[in-house]
């Protein structure tokens, strides 16, 4: 049986990227800037975005492989649209 992922809430700015570069398009949400605009204009839709998965590495920092979603969430945090996001 697979271990159950624990759900918590973090500020996007508390999570680090796992890669230096982030592709500009989502496979399911389209262009990243268009997604930021869409979710900024309609913040309730953010609940339709799957939570990002994070891991706490030896340095005590949170990292994610979901870099595009983290980029989008960080942009929305800077715009004041959201403060915390659900993570697994």
Does residue 16 lie in a domain region?
yes
- Structural domain including 26 reads 8-87
Q: How many CB atoms lie within 10 A of CB 35?
A: 22
Of the listed ranges 6-10, 16-20, 64-68, 78-82, the one predicted with least confidence: 6-10
For residue 46, which phi and psi values (nearest 5 degrees)?
-60, -25
Does residue 3 lie in a domain region?
no
Is 69 within 8 Å of 52 (Cβ atoms)? yes
Does residue 53 lie in a domain region?
yes
Q: What pTM was computed for the model?
A: 0.86
Does residue 79 lie in a domain region?
yes
Work out how many domains the chain is built from and give that number. Answer: 1
Does residue 1 lie in a domain region?
no
Q: Structure tokens of 52?
A: 């990002």
Does residue 67 lie in a domain region?
yes
Which tens digits make up the pLDDT trace of 60-78?
899 999 999 999 999 999 9
Alpha-carbon distance values, 12 to 1, 4, 42 (Å): 30, 22, 18
CATH number reported for the structural domain that contains residue 78 in this entry: 3.90.1530
């Amino acid at each position: 049986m697979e271990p159950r992922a624990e759900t918590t809430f973090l500020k996007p700015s508390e999570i680090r990227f796992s890669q230096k570069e982030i592709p500009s398009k989502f496979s399911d949400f389209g262009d990243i800037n268009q997604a930021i605009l869409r979710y900024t204009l309609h913040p309730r839709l953010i609940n339709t975005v799957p939570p990002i998965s994070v891991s706490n590495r030896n340095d005590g920092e949170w990292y994610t492989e979901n870099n595009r979603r983290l980029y989008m969430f960080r942009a929305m945090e800077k715009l004041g649209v959201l403060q915390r996001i659900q993570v697994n």
